[in-house]
Copies of this chain bind each other. A is one copy, B any other.
Amino acid sequence: MEKKIRIGICGYGNLGHGVELAVNRAEDMELVGVFSRRDLPGTASGVPAINLKHVLEYKDKIDVMILCGGSATDLIDQGPELAHHFVTVDSFDTHPRIPEHFANMEAVTKANNTAAIISVGWDPGLFSLLRVLGDSVLPEGKSYTFWGKGVSQGHSDAIRRIPGVKNGKQYTIPKEEYLEAVRSGKGTDAPGNEMHLRECFVVPEEGADLKAIETAIKTMPNYFVGYETTVHFISEEEFAKKHSGIPHGGFVFRNGKTDDTTGHVMEFSLKLDSNPQFTSSVLTAFARAMYRLHFEQGKCGAFTVLDIPFAMLSPKSPADLRKSML
- A: which residues have CB within 8 A of B? 18, 21-22, 25-26, 95, 98-99, 102, 119, 124, 126, 128-133, 135-140, 183, 185, 258-259, 261-274, 277-278, 280-282, 285, 288, 304-311, 313-316, 318-319, 321-323, 325-326
Bound-state Cα–Cα, A282 to B136, Å: 8
**B185, A281: Cβ atoms closer than 8 Å:** no
Bound-state Cα–Cα, A4 to B128, Å: 26
Bound-state Cα–Cα, A143 to B307, Å: 25
Secondary structure of the A side of the interface?
helix
- Could you name 10 residue pairs across A and B whose Cβ atoms are closer than 8 Å? A128-B326, A132-B311, A132-B325, A135-B314, A137-B282, A262-B277, A264-B278, A265-B271, A304-B322, A305-B310
Copies of this chain held together in the complex: 2
Q: A274-B258, A277-B258 are in contact. Are A98 and B309 (CB under 8 A)?
A: no
Q: Which of B99, B132, B267, B321 contacts A132 (CB 8 A)?
A: B321
Bound-state Cα–Cα, A278 to B267, Å: 14
Apart from A265-B271, A267-B267: 13 A-B pairs, beta carbons within 8 A: A99-B322, A99-B323, A128-B325, A131-B325, A136-B285, A136-B313, A136-B314, A258-B277, A258-B281, A262-B273, A262-B274, A265-B270, A306-B325
**Chain B residues whose C-beta falls within 8 Å of the C-beta of A183 in the assembled complex:** 271
Q: Nearest CB to that of A263 among chain B residues?
A: B273
**A140, B25: Cβ atoms closer than 8 Å:** yes
**A309, B306: Cβ atoms closer than 8 Å:** yes
Q: A258-B280, A271-B185, A309-B307 are in contact. Are A322 and B264 (CB under 8 A)?
A: no
